[in-house]
Structure 1
Amino acid sequence: MTKLYLVRHGETFDNERQIMQGQTQGELNPTGIRQAEALSRQLADICFDAIVASDLWRSVHTARILAEPHGLEVVTTPLLRERDWGSFTGRFIPNLKDVKPWPDDIESLPAMMDRAGRFLDYVRDNYPDCQVLAVGHGIINKAIQAVYWHKEMYEIEKMKNVEVRILDI
């Protein structure tokens, strides 16, 4: 059985400003860097076999900080990318609350759940019986947990920046 340590990236400038990042690269702010450094110290004694991250910079940067004490390279995959928010990308999140209907260019929940399932299969296939640290994003991490627990997305609690959830897959 593989133990998956699922992490959300550190805080970004756009998180701080409540801007919908979606699949933009994003950049950790000083708080996000400190968060990742603190988590790196907390996880330093765990023997990870692999560190995987979304290919978006905010997750790669977080993963590289977490990888330092382990001497591991970060493997990236687009399967861990955040939800594609289409034309909502770059907009102020509180202004989007009551927008109905949503634009057609937003990645659908079924498509995102399918991607989340493919990520779990990817980890199982490539890292059997390993300890894997994976750095993703808030919404895709919720989708991964929803698939894992056979629940709806709304039943999964939102992850804070650099929060870790452990799944035995």
Structure 2
Amino acid sequence: MGKLTLEEAIVHAKEVAEKNYRGADFESIDSIDDDIKTNCIKCAEEHMQLAEWLEELKSYKDLEEQGLLVRLPCKVGDMVWDNDFGYPESYEIKAFSYGYCDSYVEPDIGIEDEIIFYYENSIGSITGSFPMGEIGKTVFLTREDAKKKLEEIKK
């Protein structure tokens, strides 16, 4: 048997929901019938919820395939590290945007749009920005990574 696709899973979940809704469409004559109806309706509702979640997942996967979904390496509130004056310094991410960061443009490459992160230093003012492409080069997600890079530079 082949691998189940997301579309097939959505169709299957909706079919199970519909069968259970139809299975609950009868006149109850006792408490056992009431329990059966309740279970059928509960199963139908759960499968409809599953179908909705799968459709949402499908829309995200479609966006990702089209290159319209960006996974950010950090979020607002996270700390990043930079090697300032020979030692790792932490900065808190305060915002991000899409555009270009002219302080990182190399003359021979030109201006390129990308995700820009804005950070705040320890005294609470937004002190600068960096493009996402600098993560792992000049800006690091952990203090240890910043220290490793600093050691490489010293050698």
Task: Please give the TM-score of this superposition, normalised by the length of structure 2.
Answer: 0.23
Larger strand percent: 2
Q: Indicate the structure (1 or 2) with the bigger Cα radius of gyration.
A: 2
Task: Please give the TM-score of this superposition, normalised by the length of structure 1.
Answer: 0.22
